[in-house]
């Protein structure tokens, strides 16, 4: 009998990074793959067309659950997680899979892991053991302690997962799916494609441009002010800029509000900027690969850019402690500090590619392990 694997997808970023793995699991003769959609992936404003694309891909979609509670603050985030857990419990109970795959460290993924654990379903966790800031730091390690199979992306993470008492025979250093994708996709995109997306001023991708991806830091209170600083500093460089909308974590409301306010009231500050809510993962890689510098706090700056060699200015605490290559310059939220960091990176130019997060065949290793590893439910602290 085929092994039944449930794969919850709750944000566009997760779908993007997981698509090679999903296709391989779907094609694997020993696997019955069921996708479960929830969270922002179902919402037009964050993920237009992605859910439709998934449906068109021929995958089995076991459930589509609307469970994002509006508010963009901590209480809405917490309640979204709880509602997600409640509804995934029903769907996981009905599907009764052998394994559920939990990716990364988004708040709703811990909620789903908790539901799966209580249903006695084996949990596979991708990207455990990293350290960062924000609530993600707690969420990631809590998932590790609920999970049965661990796929880590780098040597530091491997060491930490073992320290936390996980059984070495179930911890696999597979490399990063994001980086595998970045290494795999054809990295071209035309100006026409870019300018068909989002709002704002046209970008010529043949010429130097900045990219900004700055998400809320859920454990901090000044997300709006921090983003406003970034906008003013980036604006001062007078370079074409592709600005990605913040993701829907707590704090997103005030950040989005600041961006809308600036566009309407201070058009001079956004004169060279194009605002995009999202692009397909391959296009995102293409944009990263050609950017003169990525500014913000996205994990793509640490991971994908290490392989692509794109200069990165990483702002604040969201990625605090994450293993980073020499292509990353860290900056505080201070305007002067940030301006200096961007100037330094623009002066430096591209970096050599690094294998810090890269292993060949990441998705093959994960798919094959999910399909054939021995499964268990009762965990024991390994020491």
**Contact (Cβ atoms closer than 8 angstroms) between residue 128 and residue 144:** yes
Which x/- pattern over 1-40 shows residues binding a copy of itself (rule: CB under 8 A)? ----------------------------------------
The footprint of a copy of itself on residues 223-252 (CB under 8 A) is 250
φ/ψ of residue 377, rounded to 5: -120, -40
Contact between 135 and a copy of itself by CB under 8 A: the answer reads yes
Q: Which residues pair with 122 in a beta bridge?
A: 99
Please choose, out of 156-164, 176-184, 357-365, 367-375, the segment that lies near a copy of itself by the rule CB under 8 A: 156-164
Nearer to a copy of itself, 198 or 339 (CB): 198
Tell me 154's DSSP state: S
Min CB(141)–a copy of itself separation in Å: 4
Find the helix or strand (DSSP H, E) in which 19 lies: helix 12-27
The footprint of a copy of itself on residues 279-338 (CB under 8 A) is 317, 320-321
Please choose, out of 17-25, 229-237, 332-340, 374-382, the segment that lies near a copy of itself by the rule CB under 8 A: 374-382
Contact between 50 and a copy of itself by CB under 8 A: the answer reads no
Which x/- pattern over 62-101 shows residues binding a copy of itself (rule: CB under 8 A)? -xxxxxxxxxxxxxxxxx-xxx-xxx-xx--xx-------
Return the structure tokens found at 285: 């890689």
* Entry field: residues in the chain: 383
Tell me which of 37, 54, 117, 174 binds a copy of itself, using CB under 8 A: 117
Please choose, out of 41-49, 51-59, 204-212, 235-243, the segment that lies near a copy of itself by the rule CB under 8 A: 41-49
Q: Residue 40: CB partners within 8 Å, gap ≥ 6?
A: 10, 11, 12, 46, 47, 68, 247, 248
Min CB(117)–a copy of itself separation in Å: 6
**Contact (Cβ atoms closer than 8 angstroms) between residue 106 and residue 76:** no
The footprint of a copy of itself on residues 173-212 (CB under 8 A) is 199
Tell me which of 47, 218, 230, 297 binds a copy of itself, using CB under 8 A: 218
Tell me which of 1, 56, 238, 378 binds a copy of itself, using CB under 8 A: 378
Measured CA to CA, the distance from residue 202 to residue 289 in angstroms comes to: 19
CA dist list (Å): 361 to 234, 246, 314, 358, 373: 37, 31, 28, 9, 17
Nearer to a copy of itself, 260 or 348 (CB): 260
Contact between 141 and a copy of itself by CB under 8 A: the answer reads yes
The edge-to-edge listing of strands for the beta sheet with 241-244 is 199-200, 273-276, 241-244, 210-213, 293-296, 312-315, 328-331
């Amino acid at each position: 009998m085929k092994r039944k694997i449930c794969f919850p997808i709750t944000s566009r970023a997760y779908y993007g990074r997981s698509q090679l793995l999903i296709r391989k699991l779907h094609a694997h003769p020993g696997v019955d793959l069921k996708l479960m959609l929830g969270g922002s992936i179902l919402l037009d404003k964050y993920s237009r067309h992605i859910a439709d694309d998934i449906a068109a891909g021929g995958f089995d979609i076991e459930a589509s659950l609307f469970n994002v509670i509006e508010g963009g603050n901590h209480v809405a985030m917490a309640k979204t997680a709880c509602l997600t857990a409640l509804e995934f419990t029903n769907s996981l109970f009905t599907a009764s899979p052998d394994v559920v795959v939990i990716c990364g460290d988004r708040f709703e993924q811990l909620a789903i892991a908790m539901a799966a654990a209580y249903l006695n379903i084996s949990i596979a966790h991708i990207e455990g053991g990293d350290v960062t800031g924000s609530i993600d730091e707690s969420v990631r390690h809590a998932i590790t302690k609920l999970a049965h199979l661990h796929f880590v992306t780098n040597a530091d993470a491997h060491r930490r997962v073992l320290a936390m008492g996980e059984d070495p025979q179930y911890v696999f250093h597979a490399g990063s799916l994001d980086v595998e994708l970045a290494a795999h996709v054809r990295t071209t995109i035309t100006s026409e494609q870019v300018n068909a997306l989002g709002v704002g001023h046209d970008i010529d991708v043949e010429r130097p441009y900045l990219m900004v991806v700055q998400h809320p830091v859920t454990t901090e209170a000044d997300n709006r002010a921090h983003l406003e600083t970034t906008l003013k500093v980036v604006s001062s460089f007078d370079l074409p800029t592709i600005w990605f909308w913040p993701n829907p974590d707590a704090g997103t409301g005030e950040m989005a509000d600041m961006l809308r306010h600036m566009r309407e009231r201070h058009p001079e500050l956004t004169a060279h900027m194009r605002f995009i809510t999202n692009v397909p993962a391959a296009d995102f890689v293409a944009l990263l690969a050609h950017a003169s510098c990525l500014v913000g706090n996205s994990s793509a700056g640490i991971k994908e850019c290490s392989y692509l060699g794109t200069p990165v200015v990483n702002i604040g605490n969201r990625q605090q402690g994450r293993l980073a290559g020499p292509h990353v310059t860290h900056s505080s939220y201070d305007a002067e500090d940030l301006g200096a960091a961007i100037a330094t990176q623009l002066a430096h130019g591209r970096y050599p590619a690094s294998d810090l997060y890269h292993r060949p065949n990441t998705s093959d290793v994960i798919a094959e392990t999910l399909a054939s590893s021995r499964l268990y439910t009762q965990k024991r602290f390994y020491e």
